[in-house]
Structure 1
Amino acid sequence: MTQLKQMSHLDISPPTPGKFKMDKSPYIHRLRGHGSLAKLTFWSFVFLGLILIFFFHSPSPNSLPSDPFRRSLRTYNWGGPAWEKRVRSSAKVRSRHGISVLVTGAAGFVGTHVSAALKRRGDGVLGLDCFNDYYDPSLKRARQALLERSGVFIVEGDINDAPLLSKLFEVVAFTHVMHLAAQAGVRYAMENPGSYVHSNIAGLVNLLEVCKNANPQPAIVWASSSSVYGLNTKVPFSERDRTDQPASLYAATKKAGEEIAHTYNHIYGLSLTGLRFFTVYGPWGRPDMAYFFFTRDILKGKTIPIFEGANHGTVARDFTYIDDIVKGCLASLDTAEKSTGSGGKKKGPAQLRVFNLGNTSPVPVTDLVTILERLLKVKAKRNIMKLPRNGDVQFTHANISSAQRELGYKPTTDLQTGLKKFVRWYLSYYSGGKKASG
C-alpha cells in the first residue's frame, strides 16, 4: 500500500537557585589593610581563572549527547524569502470563517491528525516540530510527508528557540496556537528527567512569553494530561478534583504547566484551554504506547508484559480513539475566546479552561490484549507482572461532562472498532517487520 493511500487513515471522520546569603565575615574588617587588599586581588585572579578554565573546557552544545534538553537551538535552518513564502502559504486561511493556527509538535501523533483535520476544513495551519529521537524519527518524517502533501509545512525547530517563534509570529498573525509539543512518556522520565523540564516547562514558558508579546495575542489550546490525577482514587476523574499527587515526573511537569497557564492568563490576559488527554490510540500512533508495542511483539512471537495492581488488581485505561480526540481539539479551538492583552499588558479578564478528553469506558489491559489477539489472529505470550513503581497508575477514568456541555464533545469509537482501524494501518505501514514502501 502506498504512503498516499495511508493518508486515508487521517481522512477518517469519526486520530531557583537558592538565595545567596552573605556571611558577616571578619575578613570584611581586615580588608582595610594593605596586606588584605593584596590577598583579595590574588584570590580574585584565581577565581577569574577558574571561570575561564570552566568556560573554555566545557563541552559545546554540539558535542553533548542527543538528549532533547541539551540540543543546540541553533542547528536548524530557517529564514529567508523562500522560507517565509512557504510559511505564509501554509498558514493561509482558505475558508470564509477559518482560523490561522500554529501547531507545535505537528509531526507527533496527535499533532499530525489535528493538523490534517484543520487543513481539510480550510484553516491556515503551520507546523513546528524538533523531530527528536525519543522514538523512531522516521515515523515522524513519514507523518511530515503526509502533511506536506496536503499543504501543511512543518518548520523544523525547538519551542525553546525564542527568536524562531518570534519570527513565525512576525511573518504570520496567528489567531490560535495548538500547543502539542512535549516530552511524552511516564517511564522515560526516570532515565532523562531533564528533557521533561526542557520541553514541558521551559518550552511552555518560552511559547507563552512569545504569545503574550504578540499583537494581537493568539488564543492558546494546549495538551495537559490525565496523568495529573496521579494517585487519586475517586473515579471517574473530574476537573474539579485535586491534582497535587503526581505519580511521575511527567505528570508533575504537566501539572506545573497548568499552574503556569493560570499565571499567564492572570497577568497577561492570554486565553488558555488545557486538555487532559486519556490514553490516546489509533493509526500513526506512538510506538512507546502499550497497544502499539503489544501489536509488534505479538506478531513477532515475543512475550508481552501484563501488569496487575496490588492483590491482583486490574490495571485499566480509558482508551480514547484519535478521531474523538481531534474533535475535542477542534471544538476547543472553535470555542476559545480571544486573548485580552496587547503588547504584553492585560486589558481585561481572559478565558481559562481545562477539560478531560476521554472515552468514559475504562478497559482492562487484559481485554486490550484479547482484542489484539483476535484482530491479529495470533495468540499472545503473556507474562503477568506486578505494576512497577515507575510512575504508572492502576487505572484512569474520565468524567467528560464539562467537555460535553461546553464543547459538544461526545466520543463515538469503542476500543474494538478503534483497534481494528489501528491494526489495519499497522499492517499496511509495516510489512514483514519493514516499513511499506511507496
Structure 2
Amino acid sequence: MSKFGRCTAVFCAIAVLLVGCKSSSGTSAAATASGGSGVQPGGKAGAATYVSASPLSNQLTTATITDPSLSNIVSATLTIPAGWKLQGITMISACTFSPWPVFRAYSPDGLMQMRIEPVIGWQWHPNAKGTLNSGCANISGQISAAAFLQYYLGTMQGGVHVVGTMPISSAYQQWAQGLAAQKNQMQSSAPPAMRNSNTADTAALRIEVVNGSFVVEERLRTVVECTMNNDRSTPMSNALYGGTCWARVDVLTAPQGKLDALVQLVDSNNLPHGVNSPQWTQAALLRQQRQGAQAIANLTAQEQQESKMIYQQFQQIMQSSAAEHQAFMQQQESQFQSAMNDANASMNAQSTAASDWVDYSLDQQTVMGSDGTLAKVSSAYSQTWTNGSQWYQTNDPNSDPNGVLSGNWTQTTQVHGNGTPK
C-alpha cells in the first residue's frame, strides 16, 4: 500500500533527538560489572544492594553513532557521562519508516544504564486499499503517553512493580511539543487533501525490576507523536483518512536509592543531547524525499485507477441507460403507431359507413375507373363503363360498349362512398 505513515516533513525535527552512539570500545556491561557489584553474604535476593566502585560522575563526554542503512556514515554526536561506554546504531522504524537511534550507555561498573528502545509505531487507515505496513503495533487509534506506557509494561519480561508516575522536565516537554508544532507549520502549506494535524504527549513511570538477584529502579519515559488526517472530502483524502503514531521509550536504570541522582544528571544536561551530522542529514533527506515522491506517485496512480474504474462504470451505466431509453422509445412509438392505426381504422370505418349511407339515400353509387378516378353514378345499374370522360351503365353483364360506342371503354369497380375498396 501507499506509505501513509511516512513522516515526509524533513528531518529538522530529528536534529534534537535524544540519540545514542556506537562506542569504539566493545566492553560489555557484564564484563565491567565485575569491578564492584556483589551480593551481601547471606542476604536475600530482594534485600541485596549494589556496591559501586564508580560514583556517578558529573563530567561529560561525547561519542558518535553510525547508520548502517546509509553505508555506516556517522549519523549523530551525543553526550554521555564521562567514563561510560556506549553501543548503538540508527535504525529505521519498520512501521513509520523514520530513522531513530537505538542504544545503551552504561557506567564502568555496569550498575547504571541509559538506553533508548526501538521506536514502536502503529497506524489506522480504514479506507486504505491493500495491506498496512508490517512491523506495526496492534493499536488502532490515538492514545495518550500514559496509556502507551501501560501497553509497554505488558511487553516487559519478568516481574515489574510500578511505584508511580514521575515528573517530566520542561526541556523534554518542549522538545516533544516542538516536533508536533514544527510539522503542523510545514503542513499548513500542503494541499488540503494531504494536510495532517500533529499532536505530542509525554509521560514517565518509576518502576522496580529484578536484575538477577538484585532489585533495581528504573525510569520509563515516553513521547507519543501522532499524525492524523480527518478529511474525507476527496477520494485522495478519503484514502488517507486515519492516522499514524510512533512512541519512543527511554530507560534509566540505577541501584535502589540512586535513580533520582541519575535522573537529575540526565535531565539537567538534556542527555544524550544528540546532534545530527550534516552528511547524514543530507543523505537522510534525499532518501526521505525519494520515499515521499514514491508514496505520492503510488497514491496518484491509485486515484487514477479508481477514477478510470469509476469512469468505465459510468460509461457502462450510460450505455445501459441509452439502450433502455431506446427500447422504451421504440415501445412508445409502436404503441403510438398502433393507437393511430386503430384510430384511423375507426375513423375510416365511421367515414365509410357514413359515405355509403349518403349514396344509399341519394340512390347513387360510387365507382372507380382504371385510372383511379371516382364517380357518383345511378345505383339502378350493376355495370358501369367509362372512356375517361363519359359513363355508360347497364344491367347486362355481357354488354361491352367497345366497338359500339366511340372511344376506349373500360369497366369500373364499385367502391364505398368514400372511395375505399369494398
User: Which range, TM-score by smaller chain?
Assistant: under 0.3
Structure showing greater Rg: 2
Give TM-score, length-normalised by structure 1. 0.25
Give TM-score, length-normalised by structure 2. 0.26
